[in-house]
Amino acid sequence: AVGRCLIAVLENGQQADGSVVLPEVLVPYLGGKRVLTPEGTLA
């Protein structure tokens, strides 16, 4: 079930440049980062 949730987050937040905007509810758990870049880094 965790894999399906991750896929849903990626699909719903994907931008045209390939980055993924993360849901606000996850930001506190990711050190305040809001965007996952195509290179795999958090911004």
3-state SS class at 25: helix
Q: Is residue 8 in some structural domain?
A: yes
pLDDT of residue 24: 95
pLDDT of residue 4: 96
pLDDT of residue 35: 96
Residue pair 23/13 in contact by the 8 Å Cβ criterion: yes
Q: Is residue 27 in some structural domain?
A: yes
Q: Is residue 28 in some structural domain?
A: yes
pLDDT of residue 25: 95
Q: Is residue 43 in some structural domain?
A: no
pTM score, whole prediction: 0.78
Count how many domains the chain has. Answer: 1
pLDDT of residue 13: 96
Q: Is residue 30 in some structural domain?
A: yes
Q: Is residue 17 in some structural domain?
A: yes
Q: Is residue 41 in some structural domain?
A: no
* Per-residue pLDDT tens listing for the chain (43 residues): 899 999 999 999 999 999 999 999 999 999 999 999 999 888 8
26 is in which domain, residue-wise? 2-36
